[in-house]
Structure 1
């Protein structure tokens, strides 16, 4: 057994700058009639019109201006360029950052003048749904910096700006959350952690039943499966996309830390026990394929996320980390290739992203065709 004190699931060091926090006004949920229009939330594996990303624009998040902050930007640029080989990529960045972003991302990545604080587009950007008429709408969960843990004045407006830029109907709801906090199969089943959503830093006073009702209306899902997660140990309060992902309806891939007895490990085992008894929206039992986390990674950062579950499924390719743990990297690549035979597996050194507690999935958001 390795000697780690606990798995590196912490997101990144928290900035609590009260003056920089965006305190959005409460917005009443639209009427049930307005939301009764049938919607579906397409799976990530469906064809994309584009991938959305966001430029990290706040040096203080990364220890201030300097080599490390620059290397984070370089890493994000390399990822954007890799995805752009297979599908359009649009990078949100204030105009003042366009020259550097263009240099680091390359000519295939489109830049759009949308101000950002940080790079976690999965959380600050919209979740796209498809309406009964076939059009795309953008769900705005009113990002609040993972419960006002980080400055987010610009990031709070990204979902609205993205919706406007693509001409999508923006649907604003009174519940708060993040795209990384939900995992869906495109066929009516949603997975999420209670630690993230049933939390007064997002949804004060709301319980599982109320939140589940809102999410069913918002995303058009029929079955919601709750797993516990871990509250207060990382900035996200335990997003689902760091540990459990849909491959397809009925089939899940899960990260694992064999022998882990920490709070994270116990929560993960409890989640697997819940999934072993659960059924999806079509009455299917779940099959779970486990991919062990890297234990001999290059980086020794305290916040290093070593989960292979935080990958991104793009058009014709799947983007996944390689951590420098040769055995674990090879196993992850082989397993993901077997589970996604129709896609090329692109394994990338993204250490600067994973050192900050997130991953490839956290910095991308798909816009369905």
Structure 2
């Protein structure tokens, strides 16, 4: 990725200028280790490439089909255990803890509600009263599942916890323009330690694994907070693609975007693929078709030989999961999951999704396929 790849599609002029200025303070490059002095831009990131994507094959023809995502991670600097715990203590000042939140929410939204895989929850109290929040927890929204199994007092505990978090100066989408000078990779050997140490509440993991004996390491193990997934829209499209590899020759035979972001299309960018097109799947038939679903609310059929789009059908809602196929009385049926809201562009991240519709009731759409003729 180059500085010229920073996208203007969903960034304001001020944000674009800030990211261009920030570029020189980021370390990038293939297999670049994380640093304790620099933030790291990785493309693909933790949710990019084929992670949360999908693959399918035609073993008779030696073809491999891959859904890949150009989803970057902007990893924060590595910190010592003590520094992580200081940050957590500061974020907890003036509020208590919630066991229910830790058990159900922390993996996606972080210990302090600032967001990890999921969005930040710092303004929940400004955007939702308790009844609205309870309805959201019951139905789910976008990638968030339903928590209908929680009792009302448990939902109330989470709400009280989130609304007690101080929000001043803690929006994770703010861009730090400070240029850090120094080596790309921190000195002092590998950033770790030989002893397993327990993380009280810092980061995602409760433990840090020890390095093998004999490996030269620094005096202290360093830890990473989050996966840097807050900025999927800083790159130019395509954001999601299907790629077809011929394993007989080892070449990429064709590739094409999967899905279309309508907000990008309004701005003149067609064939964009979907932002955060996670957890979509494919189905390859012996008759030369590749079926693929998309979070843009469509199921597509492509020519397996050249990637040409042959057919698409609009679904009742967005689609995540794997399509499947079965035969009954000589008729082939295609089954497609359709159970998540459609979300284009940056969505409503600035107000924590206040204006989004609740997740629709889960379901499937079944198509009876015509004869090959």
If the length of structure 1 is used for normalisation, what is the TM-score?
0.29
| TM-score for both structures, normalised by structure 2 | 0.29
Higher helix share: 1
Larger RCO: Structure 1 or Structure 2 (Cα < 8 Å, ≥ 6 residues apart)? 1
Bigger radius of gyration, 1 or 2?
A: 2
